[in-house]
Every structure is written in C-alpha cells, then in structure tokens.
Amino acid sequence: MALEHAILVSLLEKPGSGYELARRFERSIGRFWTATHQQIYRVLKRMETDGWVTAVDVGQDGRPDKREFTVSPAGQDVLTGWLHEPVQPEAVRHDLAVKVRGAAFDSAAGRAALVDEVSRYRAEHEDLLTRYLAGEKRDFPDISTLSTGERLQHVVLRGGIAYERMLLDWLDEVLIELRKEP
Amino acid sequence: MALEHAILVSLLEKPGSGYELARRFERSIGRFWTATHQQIYRVLKRMETDGWVTAVDVGQDGRPDKREFTVSPAGQDVLTGWLHEPVQPEAVRHDLAVKVRGAAFDSAAGRAALVDEVSRYRAEHEDLLTRYLAGEKRDFPDISTLSTGERLQHVVLRGGIAYERMLLDWLDEVLIELRKEP
DNA sequence: AACGCCATGTAAGCAGTTACATGATTCA
DNA sequence: TGAATCATGTAACTGCTTACATGGCGTT
C-alpha cells in the first residue's frame, strides 16, 4: 500500500487541498497511481490524525474555502523510511490479455466484435500518448536546465511514454492475430 | 473484477483443480492476472454455487485426491458476455515510479541506496525476461503450425516480453538520472 | 526425523469502489 | 435555467491480503 506515499510525494512537490490532489491524480500522478477523491479524503484525514501532514484553512474569492495540506517533518521521515524499503512486486491485472486468450473460445463473429473493441482501446491510448508528448513539450522544453526534481519527474513521464508506445505496437500485433481466419 | 473470467479462460484451456489453477496463476497467467490460492478457492466455490463450473472428484495414486473443475455451458455464456463488454481502463499502480519522484526529497546517500534497490529490481526483471524467452522457445518452437488458441496465447506472451524489454530500457534511464549529481 | 510438495480450506482485517450527499460560484 | 467547476465529505459493499489451519506422501 502506497497511496499515503504518493500523496506525500505530491504534497512535497507542492502543498495543496484534497480536491487539488484528486485533480493531480487524474492527471500526472494517475499515470502510475490511481485514486478517487473519496479515497484521498479518507487517507488524508488519517494522515492528519497521525501527524504526517498539517492543514491550514485558506479562504478564496469566488470559490469555496479549502484546506491546504503540507507535509510535516514526521511525514518526511515516513517517506524516507519507505523509500529505503525494497520495491514491492506489483500486482498485475490486464483485462485485455485475459480477453485475448478468451477469444479462442468465442465465435468468429465474437472475435470480429473484439477487433472493434481493441481498435477503440488502441485509439484511446494513441490519444493518451499524444497528450503525454504534448505535456512533455510543455513542461520540459529545455532538458539542459532542469533541477534534480524536474529530471526525476521527466524520467517518470518518459516511462509513461515508453509504455504507451510499447502498448500500441503490441495492440497492432493483437489485431493481426484476431483478424486471422478462422 | 475479472478473476472469475481469468479462471474460466484457464479452465477452458484445460480443466483442473484449485491447486493447479493456483500454480498456473503463479506461472503463465500470473503475467497478466495475479491471484493467491485462498482467493482462487473462494471464487471457485462461488462459481460452483452459481453453476459456472462443475467439479468431479479425482482419486490419485500417492497424492491427495483433488476436485477437478470444468466450465459449464452457463459459464461459457458468462465468459462470452464478458468478452463483448468494453475493456475496463486498468488501475495502474507503480510503486517504483512513486519512489523515483520521491527520491528528489531524499538525501544524496538515500538516492545512492535507491540506485542499489533499482539495480536489484532490474536484475529480477532481466531474469523474468530470460524465463519468458525460454518459455517461448519451449512452448512455441514452430509458429507456422499453431492453432488459433495457441496463436492467441503466443501474442499475449509476446506482450509480456515487450513489456519486460521496455521496462529494462526505462530502468537504465532511471539509473542514469539517479546517479547524476547532486 | 525433517522438509518440501500436493491439496484444501477458514477468518480477520484492510484497501478500494460505487453510490449518495451537500452547497457555492461561474458561464452559456 | 441548467450545466460545469470547486470543494468536502459519509456509507455500504466488495475484493484482496495476511495469517492460521490440517494432513498425507515422498525424498534426503
């Protein structure tokens, strides 16, 4: 379990409210760690109780007030401790791979329908790749002037890009196999 | 949720006991869907109650008896229905990516320790790739004579291979960034 | 005699999802 | 007037993990 740690990293990069964290998880952090706002609020509350983060009420014009969270020294220690633990092997779960193997037990018409679905899925990821590349251009226009933190953010983004490229190539192979008769 | 469906696919490929399924999930299926034996037994029981699978007691020499499961027509229908549903976007969770971004808030000594840990992780995945490639050679020695089912199994395995290669390349980039001073 | 493999489970607890809920402001 | 965005939550449920439990057989 590392949602706490993902939140700590995000708040260290920039303090923010639960709502802002939820948006970051939708966008950049969501590339490698997904979380809904419900989950974030619950975990954030626990982290506050445990003294890992502190909250300050911030009034805003023309918007509801928000509670801005900052990582405490105790939270920093927790993160450092976790960073030095071994990386846990990830629990893999690929819907699509199950379906591809399952397609062997479907009719020819069913496999044709799966071709359409895989194509749709492929288009979605092509779109995602385009957005990653646009984000890279926007956030890292000059790689020679990056700070340590920015360089690390950049290499993680490049991981997302490499993953999407690999996925698109593989989906092309899947489509070829699914289209083969019978 | 698709553990049920992964089990259905596996049992259609070859009927087997809960224990055998657990071993398959450790090996081949585990590449794209992980599950422990406890979970498998529980889900299998529910699937039996719902009539998706049927069990037969099989006595064995020099081994405990086992209950061999086979997919029923109802189970077949469930799988077909699921195959025609849209592919769910997967919940991504990459421990390591969180750590890499978190490394920006660790000391230089801490980052050096992370280099060791990432190297260990890389070696593990290099090993995994070697095993995938050996499995490919063993199970698919002649690609010109494969059945539809085998071709689909093969393309899924190639996905695993492509993923591991991409990962190794990315880990090399990560190591370069982590080693940069300061 | 001890260890590892085969084989099947129960029970407690936690993490994560889905549904429900409220209320203000801004823009079309 | 209605939809979208900002902002924060509660409640019920489901799925998954971890720990515990049993027992026979084969090998060293």
Mean pLDDT by 10 residues, chain A (182 residues): 94 97 94 96 96 93 90 97 92 94 96 96 96 95 96 97 98 97 72
CATH code where residue A18 lies:
1.10.10.10
* Residue B16 included in any domain: yes
Which of B31, B60, B83 is a domain's end point? B83
Q: CA B134 to CA B112: how far, in whole Å? A: 33
Q: Are residues A150 and A103 in the same domain?
A: yes
* Residue A88 included in any domain: no
Q: CA A118 to CA B84: how far, in whole Å? A: 11
The length of chain B, given as a count of residues: 182
List residues bridging with A71 in a β-sheet: A53
Residue of B nearest to A104 (CA): B149
Q: Are residues A78 and A36 in the same domain?
A: yes
B25-29, B59-63, B115-119, B139-143: least confidently modelled range: B59-63
Q: Which domain holds residue B36?
A: 3-83
The reported pLDDT for the residue numbered B96 is 96
The reported pLDDT for the residue numbered B90 is 87
* Residue A157 included in any domain: yes
Total domains in the fold of chain A = 2
pLDDT per residue over B75-112, tens digit each?
999 999 999 999 998 889 999 999 999 999 999 999 99
Interchain CB contact of B90 with A (< 8 Å): yes
Closest CA to A165 of A134, A130, A139, A136: A130
* Dihedral in degrees, nearest 10, Cα atoms B98, B102, B104, B109: -110
Q: Please judge whether A120 and B31 are an interchain contact, meaning their C-beta atoms are less than 8 angstroms apart.
A: no
Amino acid at the residue A108: A
The reported pLDDT for the residue numbered A61 is 80
The length of chain A, given as a count of residues: 182
Q: Are residues B62 and B99 in the same domain?
A: no
Q: Above 80 in pLDDT, residue B161?
A: yes
pLDDT tier, B61 (very low <50, low <70, confident <90, very high otherwise): confident
Q: Are residues B117 and B76 in the same domain?
A: no
- DSSP label of B86: P
Which of A83, A108, A124 is a domain's end point? A83
Q: Are residues B112 and B67 in the same domain?
A: no
Q: Are residues A72 and A118 in the same domain?
A: no
Interchain CB contact of A140 with B (< 8 Å): no
Interchain CB contact of A88 with B (< 8 Å): yes
Contact between the CB of A23 and strand D at under 7 Å: yes
Distance from CA of B64 to the nearest CA of A (A): 31
Which of chain C's bases lie under 7 Å from a protein CB? 6-11, 14-20, 23-26
Q: Are residues A124 and A74 in the same domain?
A: no
A91: the nucleotide nearest its CA (via C1') is: D16
- CA A14, distance to chain mean position in Å, is 17
- DSSP label of B87: P
Q: Are residues A111 and A64 in the same domain?
A: no
The reported pLDDT for the residue numbered B119 is 97
Q: Dig out the tokens for B151 from the structure.
A: 């071709």
Contact list, B178 vs chain A (CB under 8 Å): 152
The reported pLDDT for the residue numbered B168 is 98
Q: Measured in Å, how far apart are chain A's first and last C-alpha atoms? A: 44
* Residue B90 included in any domain: no
The gap between A169 CA and C19 C1' (Å) is 38
Q: Are residues B58 and B103 in the same domain?
A: no
Q: Are residues B14 and B72 in the same domain?
A: yes
